[in-house]
Amino acid sequence: MPRVADHDERRAQIARAFQRLLAEEGYAAVSFSRVAAEAGFSVGLIQHYFANKDVLLRFAYEDALDQLSRRIRVRVRNGEAAGRSVAEVLLDTLSELLPLDEEREVEHRVRQGLQTQALHNDGLAEVARRSGGDILGYVTAVVRSGLERGEVPSGTDPVVAARMILAVAQGLAEQVNLSGPEAFPAREVLAVGIAAVFPEREGVEDH
């Protein structure tokens, strides 16, 4: 019997092909024909799953964010199971924002490229706002947990502290993207930024 097509798998393959092209060549260079060639499908099949480029853009954006969220959840589970401090787990999870390997480099460039398009695309803007709110909510919850555990000085505003930590992480991601992961110890710099909020964990161990 012929194999039944796995539609979710095909959508993911198309999205990942788009992401690779966007990361390598930029948004303007990406077309359905280029994506089709990269994915090994026909243009007609691409159009079967994605009615137009905006639909593909949103799906690819959400897919990149989903991959990031999946790795963060794994980091949180593993850190909690190992009994690590909330600051150490935060360092692990936010390191996923840094383009320190090929997978994270592609995802970072996709997120940045589509955030730029979101300035003129309401659908992408909605995804960007939701993702930004989710990561801010996560870091804010970690800071609140640190307050409860005595790892964060009393009186610290959790939202302000979370925004500062995210500003460090996102700024570092841009620097790594431009300079390369070998240019400077980005994870160590991120640890210093986190230690500004978690001073009792100044010696957060780098794993």
| CB of 146 closer than 8 Å to CB of 152 | yes
Residues 31 and 86 in one domain: no
CATH assignment of the domain containing 92: 1.10.357.10
Instruction: Establish if 31 belongs to a structural domain.
Output: yes
CATH assignment of the domain containing 3: 1.10.10.60
| Predicted local distance difference test score (pLDDT) of residue 5 | 60
**Residue 62 belongs to what domain range?**
53-201
pTM score above 0.75: yes
Chunk the chain into consecutive blocks of 10 residues (it has 207) and report each block's average pLDDT, rounded to whole numbers. Answer: 69 94 88 92 94 91 92 92 92 95 91 90 93 95 93 95 96 93 92 92 44
The CA–CA distances, whole Å, from 126 to 131, 132, 181 equal 9, 10, 30
Residue type for position 70 = R
| Predicted local distance difference test score (pLDDT) of residue 207 | 42
| Predicted local distance difference test score (pLDDT) of residue 27 | 85
In terms of C-beta density within 10 A (0-12 exposed, 13-18 middle, 19 or more buried), how is residue 157 classed?
exposed
**Number of compact structural domains in the chain:** 2
What is the C-alpha separation between 94 and 68, in angstroms, rounded?
Answer: 10
Residues 74 and 156 in one domain: yes
First to last CA, the chain: 49
DSSP assigned state of 205 = -
| Predicted local distance difference test score (pLDDT) of residue 181 | 86
